[in-house]
Amino acid sequence: MDETKILDVTLIEPRLKHPTIFEYFDALKPGDSFIIHNDHDPKPVYYQLMGERGNIFSFEYLEKGPEHWYIEIKKNAVDSSTGEPTVGDIAAKDYRKAEVFKKMGIDFCCGGEKSLKEASAEAGIPIEEVENALNAAESATIVDAYDYDKWPIEFLADFIINTHHQYVRDNAEIINNMAVKVSEHHKANHPELPELATKVHYFLQDIQHHLQKEEEILFPNIKNLAAASKNKTKAYKGMVSGPIQMMKMEHEHSGDDLKLFRKLTNNYTLPADACNSYKYLFEKLQEFENDFIKHIHLENNILFPKAEKLENSIAV
């Protein structure tokens, strides 16, 4: 871009804010940037970009509130010392692009030192087709590209808050309202919908209370525990293990609710008379479930065991 574009996030509908920022970022060429303007600290965007796009950008605060926040987001440029990246470089930095090469029959292992142009020509595929596929791959969600177990527990806790907790807050009201709307319009032919709407309402209410407890009690305790470990100060038994047991029980109850939703919807099978709102509701519920699974995996299988292990090693 010849001039740095400014995206005024304050003018965008809440549910579209992050998707719009991602669209702007994905459209950047290496070395290009854009500026976002917001009325509060957009730090959650940083964590979401890091989680879904990887460490391929810079996030520089140009102005820090209190009323106006300006942040320049820049896509990293190709290292000038190495020139054009090889297909091996591209695959190593983003496993999603390695999958593109694999599907297209482009050798990124033994032939990894070739440029994208050379490798595309060797495979007999127009480079424009390969570039389009690589660009599309950048929009795919990264699932297991990071070894979260190696992240400091403080950073992992913040990552969970700014990605998965934020996802719940961004989508809970949308899903709740849609469930009520669909129930009101289709309950005559689908008597299970009022129960679904009621269960969804209480599920979302409970999970938001759950997030509040994590953010106000458990996660601060985890950070205090990490600080005690670094500063070689005392910590006490139960400061994280007690709340963790409660959170895990609540996770299990939430998982049971999601199973019930699948039972009531026949695994989200749309009836013949489903309208667009009906389809959207089922899509959002499945999207929510997918995010929830990743969310709880990060807590139950990584964050919580690391915190309990740390507590056992230093607590008295």
Find the CATH number of the domain harbouring 10.
3.30.110.40
Is residue 45 within 8 Å of 26, Cβ to Cβ?
no
The answer to whether residue 272 sits within a structural domain is: yes
User: How far apart (Å, rounded) are the C-alpha atoms in residues 137 and 252?
Assistant: 33
Among 21-25, 34-38, 118-122, where is mean pLDDT lowest? 118-122
The answer to whether residue 192 sits within a structural domain is: yes
Q: Is the pLDDT of residue 47 over 80?
A: no
> Which pTM was predicted?
0.60
The answer to whether residue 305 sits within a structural domain is: yes
User: How far apart (Å, rounded) are the C-alpha atoms in residues 2 and 5?
Assistant: 9
Average pLDDT of span 107-112: 52
Distance of CA 77 to the CA centre of its chain: 24
Same domain, yes or no: 58 and 133:
no
Q: Tokens for 173? A: 């009201």
Alpha carbon of 9 to those of 25, 104, 310: distances in Å? 14, 38, 40
Same domain, yes or no: 110 and 222:
no
Q: Please report which confidence band the pLDDT of residue 142 belongs to, taking 50, 70 and 90 as the band edges.
A: low
Same domain, yes or no: 221 and 289:
yes
Same domain, yes or no: 91 and 116:
yes
Domain boundary among 96, 112, 137: 137
Q: Is the pLDDT of residue 272 over 50?
A: yes
Domain boundary among 42, 75, 108: 75
Most confident of 10-14, 148-152, 174-178: 174-178
Same domain, yes or no: 167 and 309:
yes
The answer to whether residue 47 sits within a structural domain is: yes
* pLDDT (0 to 100) of residue 294: 84
The answer to whether residue 81 sits within a structural domain is: no
Average pLDDT of span 240-268: 92
Q: Please report which confidence band the pLDDT of residue 153 belongs to, taking 50, 70 and 90 as the band edges.
A: very high
The answer to whether residue 56 sits within a structural domain is: yes
Q: Please report which confidence band the pLDDT of residue 234 belongs to, taking 50, 70 and 90 as the band edges.
A: confident
Same domain, yes or no: 14 and 93:
no
According to DSSP, the β-strands at 33-38 and 5-8 are parallel
Q: Is the pLDDT of residue 36 over 50?
A: yes
Tell the residue number behind the tokens 């009101």, with chain if given.
184
Q: Please report which confidence band the pLDDT of residue 78 belongs to, taking 50, 70 and 90 as the band edges.
A: low
Residue 24 domain boundaries: 5-75
Q: What is the mean pLDDT of the chain?
A: 85
Is residue 159 within 8 Å of 258, Cβ to Cβ?
no
Read off the DSSP letter of residue 185.
H
Q: Please report which confidence band the pLDDT of residue 54 belongs to, taking 50, 70 and 90 as the band edges.
A: low
Q: Is the pLDDT of residue 164 over 50?
A: yes
With residues binned 3-state (H G I as helix, E B as strand, rest as coil), the percentages for the chain, rounded to 5, are: 65, 10, 25
| Residue 199 or 105, more confident | 199
* pLDDT (0 to 100) of residue 202: 96
Same domain, yes or no: 54 and 132:
no
The answer to whether residue 28 sits within a structural domain is: yes
According to DSSP, the β-strands at 69-75 and 5-8 are unpaired
Is residue 71 within 8 Å of 115, Cβ to Cβ?
no
